[in-house]
Structure 1
Amino acid sequence: MTSMTEDHTLQDALGLLKDREQVARRLLESSAKHSFDPDTELDWGAPIEDGKWFWPPELVSLYDTPLWRKMPEEQRMDLARHEAASLASLGIWFEIILMQLLVRHIYDLPVTSAHVRYALTEIADECRHSMMFARMIQKGGAPTYPVARLHHNLARVLKTISTTPGSFACTLLGEEILDYMQRLTFPDERIQPLVRGVTRIHVVEEARHVRYAREELRRQMASCPRWEAELTRISAGEAARVFSIAFVNPKVYSDVGLDRREAVAQVKASAHRREVMQTGARRLTDFLDDIGLMRGVGRKLWRSSGLLA
């Protein structure tokens, strides 16, 4: 039996819901006007520019640590290049997961609905993004950085057992923090033109994906049974914990000549890095709190991830 407070919260949430088909139609209209083919939109043949970064230095994990202050500028820029490749590798892994979750979501829905058509449009976007990220890694000359085998297999479990609201919560987790960083990257004239182009495309198209996921997650949390809401709180919190660990592959440090253990320890102790990650997550955590996802064990997991202040 629900309490009066919970009843009022449910009614408030239902009152905020927008028509699912109307939202999807607007997103389809936006997709028709503002979608990009990275193969033709970006100049892949242009040479890499000397003296330009692959990632803003303030967003590099070691920025403003004692180790960073000892590193020569060339090594700092090399670390930024490898971290850009690591984040692009993470993005590909995440988008492959997202595509599978979206296919699961629409499997039982009416195939002629605008909601399903937009999901298929988003899957097409994510296919292009994954190929774009892979091509950017190759152009930058750094290796790919797959996530740890444990996290790879945890995601395999997630894709199998995730609730529908859990799928959309995890979607937002992967999209919104990277989106925050990319919004700082594409206007930054210190950054390689190709990287700026890649992040600009991703920001424009991901804005639609975030809108779709937020609207659907709000709808799901307003109507799902209590057990599903609680499972979603826990799974989203655990996903946040894993995501924060996997965000930068620690192999990047040894690949640029640093002591991996020392680098990882300094990143964990860095107040600047903690502020960057929490600022990147704040818009998301405020939204999740608003719809009732940041409670109990789930909130504790978010705190342990370092993404929640």
Structure 2
Amino acid sequence: MTASLARETTRGFVPGIPLSDREETAGRLLASSARKSYDPMIEVDWEAPIPDDKFGLTPEWSTLYGTALWDELSDEQRIALTKHEAASVSGVGLWFEILLMQMLLRDVYDRNKHSRHVQFALTEVADECRHSVMFARAGERLGMPGYGPPRYIHLLGKLWGRFFRGANAYAAVMAAEEILDMMQRDFMRDERVQPLTRTVSKIHVLEEARHIRFAREEVARRLTGASRARLAFERFNTALVVFFVVKSMIHPAVYANAGLDGDRAAAEAKRNSHYHDRVRKSGTKLMTFLDNVGLVGGPSKIFYKKVHLL
């Protein structure tokens, strides 16, 4: 084994974050990918009818669930709203998958391509490429607009994708994937939800489990021995990305597009304590990890509180 692929110790990393050798981890993840990966073009029945009586996502994950406006809506209006919300979640997921692929390719550009670490990173890029097509196809099949983040966040994403790398990029990507994961685990198990949404969510959750493990270990490795100044920068960058991703998850246009009073719906969603509590409880695992690796503290807490993760 060359010096560039020398084994890393399994001790001395961040407390509470067990780490194995980087090459061993990548080797296990490559083996898992070989055993169980999915081709959405085959696994998803794209020609199946879209039931009129199924929600686009788990109703309790709707930004209006628990509000006075939700109580006033008919079942048809609730279904229409959740279809638009599901399309918005997928659109933001697609946007971030593309940023993730850019980050991974930049990160491995100068690394030894014979390493298992690089080979799993390339495998992940292939996974994310399929996921992006899957998200796009799902929105199209549901007959929804092509949602994504607001334009200013889209433009900021271009800047982030160009300049950020290393621990800050892995932490931000891992956090964004965890946010999608915590929602989609509910979608895939809920029989009230569209079969298309359930299948897409299941594929994404199962394959992202490998990606999240890969990113978590990279974050912990690369933050080992970080200076106070670097940790402060990493905290700020990660929190800022999480803030923008969560804020972008539901596009403001979904309400009017679903036939609702857009201004009233946006106002009720903004103060919906039920939705805020659901985000906070579902994000406990993510926030515990970020805290354990030193990425929660100082001004970063302001961003997490604004999107109800703290």
CA contact 1:62–1:68 (8 Å) conserved in 2: yes
Q: What is the one-letter code of the residue matched to 2:236?
A: I
- What SS is found at the alignment partner of 1:295? coil
CA contact (8 A) 1:237 1:301 kept: yes
**Aligned counterpart in structure 1 of residue 80 of structure 2, from 69, 78, 94:** 78
Deviations 1:42-82 (A, max 9, x none): 11111112311221111111111111111111011000111
Q: Which of 161, 175, 190 is residue 163 of structure 2 equivalent to?
A: 161
1:56-111 per-position Cα deviation (integer Å, ceiling 9, x unaligned): 11111111111111111101100011111111111100100000111111122111
Secondary structure of the equivalent of 1:307?
coil
How much does 1:257 deviate?
A: 1.8
Match of 1:56 in 2: 58
In the TM superposition, what is the alpha-carbon distance from 1:194 to its structure 2 partner? 1.7
What residue in structure 1 maps to residue 3 of structure 2? none
Contact 1:244–1:307 (CA under 8 A) maintained in structure 2: no
Amino acid aligned to 1:230: A
Alignment-derived partner of residue 300 in structure 1: 302
Consecutive aligned runs of 4 or more in structure 1 exceeding 4 Å deviation: none
Does residue 67 (structure 1) correspond to residue 106 (structure 2)? The answer is no
Q: Summarize the Cα distance change of 1:106–1:225 in structure 2 as closer, same or farther, 3 Å threshold.
A: farther
Q: Could you state the TM-score of these two structures normalised by the residue count of structure 2?
A: 0.93
Task: Report if aligned partners of 2:148, 2:248 keep a CA contact under 8 Å in 1.
Answer: no
Q: Answer whether contact 2:63 2:275 (CA < 8 A) is retained.
A: yes
TM-score (normalised: structure 1): 0.93
> Could you tell me which residue of structure 1 aligns to residue 177 of structure 2?
175
C-alpha contact 1:244 1:306 (8 A) present in aligned 2: no
Would you say 1:22 and 2:24 are equivalent positions? yes
More helix by share: 1
Superposition pairs of residues 187-206 of structure 1, within 5 angstroms: 187-206=189-208
> What residue in structure 2 maps to residue 257 of structure 1?
259
Secondary structure at 1:238's aligned position in 2?
helix
5 Å matches for 1:85-96? 85-96=87-98
Q: How many percent identity over aligned positions?
A: 42
Residue 142 of structure 2 aligns with an amino acid whose one-letter code is G
Cα distance in 2 for residues equivalent to 1:241 and 1:11: 31
The answer to whether the 8 Å contact 1:165/1:221 transfers is yes
Show structure 2 runs of 5+ residues with no match.
1-10
| Runs of 5+ consecutive residues of structure 1 not aligned to the other structure | 1-9
RMSD after superposition? 1.5
The residue type equivalent to 1:106 in the other structure is: V
